[in-house]
Each structure stands twice: as structure tokens, then as C-alpha cells.
Structure 1
Amino acid sequence: MRTLGEALRDATDILQQAAVASPLNDARLIAAHLLGCGPLNVALHMRDEVPAGFDEAVSRRAQREPLQHILGSAPMGALDLHVGPGVFVPRPETEVLADWAVRRGRGVDKPVVVDLCTGSGALAAYLAHELVDARVTAVELDPGAAAWAARNFSEFTPGVELVIGDATDATVLPDLHGRVDIVVSNPPYVPETGDLEPEVYRDPHMAVFSGAGGMDVIDEMVHLIFNLLKPGGVMGVEHDDTTSELVLDVFTRHGGFTDVAVLNDLTGRARFVTASKL
């Protein structure tokens, strides 16, 4: 009998040869998923038979299919969101922006929150889960991605309102103009390029790339953010690690914001810009 321990060693070699960034970790996560246990508990099954589907899942990962597509989920705080083909896979760094927004929302009575370009619903669901008295609205342009968000909201945070809309349209959500306490967004922001990791190109193009400089959506989204926020309301936007100065300039030049500042991710990279509406 081939044991799981043997299969994990084989899988690690296969994934390493495929240039997967974390071969052993990915192999363990696949095993944990199939065993229905936590990753740390995989060690308790090393002498057990290989779970059905393990080799097939490893083969898919070796073809650089995103691990989250194979597992069918991606973590976002305390939530394991449903993801798959047709929706952007949330990345861990986005939790920095989510945590910032939660801290800002803690001191507000029944905060009104908008998540622009919600994708899988990651930020909106995180904030609705943590700020239980908040009114959260999520906006997404792509109906395919919105279907994933609707599934996640239905299961985890049924109070979130989902709206199909374009974050570059300053007239979106007219009933909320001037009433929003917090706006967050993880918009398309990657400059058009062909030299990224293969997994990136499995995400929808419109959710990842934003013109040659990566700024097309953010350049236009500033107007809707301004319209939505109440005076003193705050916003936070995720951006590419090469465009921090450009994003700072967008919100500074607009003239309607103050306290425009950089927020770093956990590795110290400038990955977010925050500001308050005058």
C-alpha cells in the first residue's frame, strides 16, 4: 500500500519541478482538503492510504492551476470563501486593508460600508462578519464574479446587498451618495504584462489588469468614492506595488480628500492608499 507520507514526498517533488512556490505546503493543503481535516492534522495520517483524488489534484496544481480552484475556497479572515474559475482569488495581503477598515468602523454606530469591485465578495463579507451592525453594500461589474459573491454572501453574510455596477461610473449607488462611512476596494490594478506567475492569468483579465500603467480604474473610481463618502468618511484602496505614488497623486489632486496616506502590507510594501473626505 502506498502511504500518504510517500505520496506527499512524490507530490512535493512534482510541484517543485513545476516551479510551484510552496510545493510541500500545497501538497499538504490538498491532502487536508481531501481528508477533511486541518493542515496540522495531516501528520496524523502519514501511514494511511492515499486519499482518493490526491494524485489528480496534484497533477492539476503542477499545471499551475490555482490551488484555490482545486480546493474550491480561499481564506479571508475567519471565512473560507467559495472561489473558482471566473472570479478573482483573494490574496492574503488584502486582509491588511480589511483590518484597517474594521478598526475604522469600530467607533461608528451602524457604519455604512461600500466595497467597490467586490469580486468574490471578500472585503464585503469580511467587514460584514466583523462589523455586525454595519450596512454593507458590494458593487461588482462582472455578472460571473457577482454570482460567486452572491453565493458567499448567502452562506456567510446574508445581510450584504449586492449591486451590479461599474465602479468607474460616478453615478452608481445614488441613494448612498454622501452617506457612506467607509469605502474599500481591491480593484483591477496590475499593469498589462505577460511575465507574471501563470496562476495570475487564471483570474479574469478584467479583475486583474487595468491598462498599460495599471491605473485606468483607480483614475476614474476616485469620483464615485468621493460622491459616496460623507464628510469625514474614510476610504482605502489596494494597488500594485509599483504605483503607490501614482495612487497617492490621484487622491491628492482630486482636492476632495485629506489625510491621504500610504498603508503598508505585512512585508512593508506600500500596497494601499487611505484618505478621508473633506
Structure 2
Amino acid sequence: MRRAFGADAPSTPADAMIRRARRGLGWFELMASPASPLRVDAALRRAVDVLARTGVPDAQVDAELLLAHVLGLSRGGVQAAAIRGDALDPDPAAEFERAVTRRATREPLQHITGTAPFRHLELRVGPGVFVPRPETEMVAQLAIDALLAAASDSPVAVDLGTGSGAIALAMATEVPHAQVHAAENSVDAFVWTKENFARVAAPNARLAFVDLAHAFPELDGTVSVVASNPPYVPDEAIPRDPEVRLFDPPAALYGGADGLDVVRVLSGVGLRLAHPGGMLVIEHGEWQGAPIRAILEADGWLATATHPDLTMRDRATTAIRP
């Protein structure tokens, strides 16, 4: 059995509430009548209570975002409606209840709304693709900074295992003079990748369905930045959050006995693709910086360094091609 990754056990005291949520509770029908229609503030309070009881972090934020999705408003618009005491009509109330029920089962918020924010982008996501996390935004920043510092007037970047396309599309849109190539080999994920590349429509971004180990031989020795957010959870571990362990695709999570099998491949591929002085940027777990630096240094990479995210947890390691 896999052990917990970041927790002592995979189950939580909220499991019973989650099972109840899956059955559906008819929360809002009990709160309204023809004489006293359901109000936005009351619906939000009930939703926050339900989500908090099932262990959803930031229940207030999620409730407001779900209602904003249902009503086609911004989160601020929902907050204003709650302050005004606006009524919630029966149809959107029923849709909101269904959305809250899904979130109470710990289905990711982004699967319910169908979108995930990433830097200035709004990406389409759903089952089969890894949902981009806020901490990956700093990984993209490292890659963007390296591209901006590149000597070439048209630097080349590669995102290996791009998933939703988050890092690749951030590089392409924020460094428009760069040429960005992204590789993905999961059929389920590629559906979402293609949609995001089409929606963003960055003219300097190219997407290929290819395994990262064999990606872009035509670019060998020309790439300024090789970036990746690979699977890095050890095979015998269980991610703490139900949103991760129950809904993220296993191929995007598990990376071998120590979680670093794909990192070892990336090191070799990066040496093939990058030109001398090119940078490798790899996202990883907070305890993996030292072993990743050791792998890269053994392969000949220079100036290895591990960088913290905004929570001060180690999140990415960079290295320079000799």
C-alpha cells in the first residue's frame, strides 16, 4: 500500500461528510420557500459550512468562486450580491447546490468550473490533465527570466511534459520574441493542451505529441531554456490532498521509487537540447532539491541551485549547461 505523502494517513475525519455529499443533501431546498426566497448570503453561508465540514481549504473562497461560475459574475460581484441581500433564483440555486456537492466530494474546483488561472492566463482543465498550481508560477518565472536574459534575439525554449500547457504558454506570451516548443505524450492530457494552445493562439508556441525522452531532436544544441514540471511523487507515497490523489492523473504524479526517475531522463534530454550556457528548470517536491542537484552535477551540469516558492518551500532546481 502506498504511504501518505505529506500526511500520516490518507483518510480524514471528513470522510463521512464526503460520503454524505456524494449522496446529495438537498441543502438549499430546505432553506427557501415561495414566501421567503433563498438569498445569496444565506446560500453562501450554507455552502461554506458544508465545504468546511468536508475539509475543503478556503471554503469561503471556493463557495464564492462556485457561485460566481454559476451566475457568470466575478467573485467581487458575488460578494456585492451577498451584501445587497439579492435573491437567488431556483435554477441557479439548484446548479449552485450541485456544484457545492461536487466540491464537497473534494472534486477539484477547477474541474467544476472548467478553468484554472495561471499567471495572466486562464487555462481549460478537466479529468485527465494535471491542474496547474500557484506554486508552479514561480517555476515559470525562473524560465521566463532566463529567456529574457538570453543573448539571442530569438531564444528557444522547451517545456517537456507540458500538461495543460501552463509553463509553455506563459513563456510564449510573456517573452513574445522567444520560440517555445512544448511536448506532451498523454492522450487524455493532450486534449486539454490542444484546446489551451488554440485558445491562447500564441504564434510563437508549437505543440507536439511526443514522449519527452525523444522530443525535438531538430533542436539539439540550440535551446536556451529547458523547463519541466515532471511527475515527482514516490511510487509508494499517497498525496495528502484528496483533490490530488483522487483526481490528478497518476502519470502526472508518480515518478518511480524515489520520485526522480523522470528527473534523471530530463537531465540527459536537457544536455542534448540545451546550448552551452542554456538553463534547465525543474519543479519538484520540497525535500528533493539536494538529490536532484546531485543527479544533475553527476551528469555534468554546472551552477545547480534550488529555489523556494512563496511559502518558502523548496520548489525548483536550476542548472547551467557546460
Q: Where in structure 1 are there 5+ consecutive unaligned residues?
A: none
Code of the residue aligned with 1:148 in structure 2: it is: W
> Which residue of 135, 138, 161 maps to 2:206?
161
**What secondary structure does 2:70 align onto?**
helix
How big is the shift at 1:90?
A: 0.2
TM-score scaled to structure 2, two decimals?
A: 0.83
SS, match of residue 80 in structure 1: strand
Matched, 1:23 2:59: yes
**Structure-1-length-normalised TM-score:** 0.96
1:221 maps to which of 266, 290, 294? 266
Looking at structure 1, the residues matched to 182 and 57 of structure 2 have their Cα atoms a distance apart, in angstroms, of 32
Q: List alignment gaps of at least 5 residues for structure 2.
A: 1-36
Partner of 1:76: 118
Equivalent of residue 39 in structure 1, options 75, 79, 98: 75
Query: What SS does the corresponding residue of 1:120 show, helix, strand or coil?
Result: coil
Task: Describe the superposition over 1:4-58 as per-residue Cα deviations: whole angstroms up to 9, x where unpaired.
Answer: 1000000011001101111111001111112222212212111223334111000
Q: Aligned-residue CA RMSD in angstroms? A: 1.2
- Report the AA paired with residue 103 of structure 2: R
Q: Which amino acid aligns with 2:217?
A: P
Distance in 1 between the 2:185 and 2:267 partners? 16
State the alpha-carbon separation in 2 of the partners of residues 38 and 118 from structure 1: 29
Which of 109, 126, 132 in structure 2 is aligned with 1:67? 109
| Cα pair 1:114 1:138 within 8 Å, conserved | yes
Structure 1: 4+ residue segments shifted above 3 A: none
- For residue 140 of structure 1, the aligned residue among 181, 184, 196 is 184
Alignment match, 1:49: 87
User: How many residues matched?
Assistant: 275
SS of aligned partner of 1:194: strand
Compute the displacement of 1:270 (Å). 1.0
Match of 2:254 in 1: 209
Amino acid at match of 1:33: H
Alpha-carbon distance in 2 for matches of 1:166, 1:250: 21
The answer on whether the counterparts of 2:173 and 2:202 sit within 8 Å (CA) in structure 1 is: no
Higher deviation after alignment, 40-49 or 79-88: 40-49
- Partner letter of residue 260 of structure 2? M
- Quote the Cα distance in structure 1 between the aligned partners of 2:234 and 2:77: 40
Q: Distance in 2 between matches of 1:125 and 1:18?
A: 34
1:101 is aligned to: 143
Q: Residues of 1 paired with 2:116 and 2:142: CA distance?
A: 20
Question: In the TM superposition, what is the alpha-carbon distance from 1:195 to its structure 2 partner?
Answer: 5.0
**Partner SS for 2:41:** helix
Which is greater in Rg? 2
Q: Give CA deviations for 1:173-220 in whole Å, capped at 9, x if unaligned.
A: 110000001111001111122352111020110011112211111122
